[in-house]
Amino acid sequence: MGEGLARAGLALRIQLVGFPYLHPNRIALLAGGWTSQVANRMTLLGAGVLAAVTSFLLERWTAFELFSGGAPAGINARTLATFILGAAIVPATLPWMSIRWLEPVCWRTVVYLAVVLVLVLPLSFATIQILPALNSSTDQIHAIKMGYPVFWTALLLPVGLRLGRRAVAKASVPRTLCPSRGRS
């Protein structure tokens, strides 16, 4: 037991010191005793962060393109394409990653996640009306400063994934509707 904890501590130190490129499976080998299920969850976490950051960067570029002083008048095809791609990355890749590394989810999970992500801002703006900022401001910028979008995203994303899992359980032929790689 102590030897496994020492290896886990060494793996954590290696990760923190400056080897972020280590794959979670390599860290699992260093730590010893990790199952492939834990390695799959770590891989899902890394891929999910990559998808979220990519989506953020695309949407940030779109916002700069639309709202900066030198922006062209109107929306061009490139700006529209990056907006749609950035908005679709997380709802489209999260179910695929879940199927690949966790459990099967239904194709409707993409729809559930898209709806949940669209609800984040309206719920944040409603929350700032109920729970104002520390200086009693109730405008939209203070809703974002207070972190309400992060709160609602963290609360609603698992709900969307849970709805997707229920759709798999209710499906009469889950392998056809929601293919999975199988659990290891």
pLDDT at res. 119 = 93
Q: Report how far Cα 157 is from the mean position of its chain's Cα atoms.
A: 8
8 A C-beta contact, residue 149 and residue 124: yes
pLDDT at res. 124 = 92
Exposed e or buried b for every residue in 62-74, given b needs 16+ CB within 10 A?
A: beebeeeeeeeee
pLDDT at res. 116 = 92
Domain limits of the chain?
Answer: 1-34, 103-184
Q: How many CB atoms are located within 10 Å of the residue 112 CB?
A: 23
* CA dihedral for 3, 4, 5, 7, sign (positive or negative): positive
8 A C-beta contact, residue 44 and residue 102: yes
Q: For residue 4, report the phi and psi dihedrals to the nearest 5 degrees.
A: -65, -40
* DSSP state at residue 22: -
In the chain, which residues have pLDDT < 70?
Answer: 1-34, 69-74, 167-184
Rounded CA-CA distance 135/60 in Å is: 28
pLDDT at res. 120 = 92
